[in-house]
Amino acid sequence: MQFVDYVKIYVKAGDGGRGCVSFRREKFVPKGGPNGGDGGRGGHVIIRASKELNTLLDQRYRKEYVADRGEHGKGSNKHGKNAEDKIILVPVGTVIKDAESGEVIADLDSDNTELMAAKAGRGGLGNSNFATATRQAPKFAQPGEEGEEKWLVLELKLLADVGLIGLPNAGKSTLISVISSAKPKIADYPFTTLVPNLGVVKFREHRSFVVADIPGLIEGAHMGAGLGFQFLRHVERTSMLLHLVEVSDLSPSDPVEDFEKINNELVLYSPELANKPMVVVGTKLDLAFDKTRLGKLQSHCRERGLDFFGISAVAGEGIDALMMYLVQKIEGMRT
């Protein structure tokens, strides 16, 4: 399935139905008065979060959502029928913004939460509402009110307990495939992962937690380089960050420099990200025959007061210790 996390849509609520101009006409009733009914309300446009969805793909291909107008009033004081509301289903975690001002209107962060995105117009009053002692035969009625219309931006931010970050080929996809049932594409070239992957982790008797694999960030990601700018918004939702850095002998770069590159991108994108709890993981330990790179990164993390783990997702080395650490941290945050 194609992953879509940003769309712009147009919403238009239904107009209200017109009030009716009508007079009572019955045999043997010589002085029938006004009996025009009211128009019905138009349909609201409602955006509702659903846990059954995980992408804004439907809104990518359908940009306009227009609700029906209310039924017009009728004679014999018959009111027009209200129009049905137009429901737009979106994934949980969708942020709704005004397209012009950029103001956040709503954050649908739980299942079945909803927003009335566009309010429908009320139906007009029929002429029976305007009869008075001095105006017994009003020959006018109200038109229905117009429904609201606006352009909205829908922005999906994945809800996860742990966000996996790191340069391309740091081992994020391999780790999430080992600790959860997620099956991301894995290869030995950069940007194998083109969309965020979510995995549910169940470790022993502990409660499960959700891990998000954020596609490869690179230097300059906050300005749009690589794939990072497109998916950095998903990091904002996570409770903590798992920063993966390759320490194998095959990597040509310095692990401390790799670590600081990504940290710098997070700070430049949003200073708040720098305050998120972070643990650093040295990956591909099975290929780190020379422990110099591992030791250098470990010392750097110690100086910065960051917890550090060395793992090999392929060989299973260090995985249990890391999982125990994560469940304890997450359960502590939840309580």
**Regarding the domain delimited by 162-334, which CATH topology (the fold level of the hierarchy) does it fall under?**
Rossmann fold (3.40.50)
CA distance 81 to 197: 46
* pLDDT tens, residue by residue, 254-274: 999 999 988 888 888 777 777
The letter for the amino acid at 256 is V
Asked if residues 166 and 244 have their Cβ atoms less than 8 Å apart, the reply is: yes
Domain 6-156 has CATH 2.70.210.12: yes
According to DSSP, the residues that pair with 116 across neighbouring strands are 46
For residue range 3-43, what is the model confidence (pLDDT) as tens digits?
677 899 999 999 999 999 999 887 776 677 899 999 999 99
Residue extents of the structural domains in the chain: 6-156, 162-334
Closest CA to 54 of 3, 10, 15: 3
As a whole number of angstroms, the distance between CA 217 and CA 210 comes to: 20
**Which tens digit of pLDDT belongs to each residue from 71-90?**
999 998 999 999 999 999 99
Band (1; pLDDT cuts 50, 70, 90): very low
pLDDT of residue 221: 43
What would the two tokens of residue 194 be? 């083109």
What are 139-171's pLDDT values in tens digits? 999 999 999 999 999 988 777 789 888 888 888
Amino acid at 66: V
Residue 189: what pLDDT? Answer: 45
- Using DSSP, state whether 285 is helix, strand or coil: helix
Say whether 281 sits in a helix, a strand or coil. strand
Which alpha helices (DSSP H) does the chain contain, by range? 57-61, 172-179, 228-231, 255-269, 292-304, 319-334
Supply the mean pLDDT for the chain: 86
Q: Residue 298 contacts by C-beta under 8 Å, 6 or more apart in sequence?
A: 282, 308, 310
CA distance 212 to 201: 11
The tokens describing 60, both together, are: 């990518």
Cα angle 290, 296, 298 (rounded to 5 degrees) comes to 105
> Residue 178's closest CA among 218, 213, 207?
213
- For residues 2 and 80, is the Cβ–Cβ distance under 8 A? no
Is residue 107 packed enough to be buried (19+ CB in 10 Å), middle (13-18) or exposed (0-12)? middle
Max Cα-Cα span within the chain: 108
- Determine how many CB atoms are found less than 10 A away from the CB of residue 220: 15
Output the CA–CA distances (angstroms, integers) from residue 153 to 56, 107, 188, in the order listed: 11, 12, 36
305-319: average pLDDT: 93
Question: What beta strand segments (E) does 119-184 contain?
Answer: 149-156, 162-165
Share of the chain above pLDDT 70, in %: 88
Task: State the residue for tokens 């939702």.
Answer: 237
Q: Is 68 helix (H, G, I), strand (E, B) or coil?
A: coil
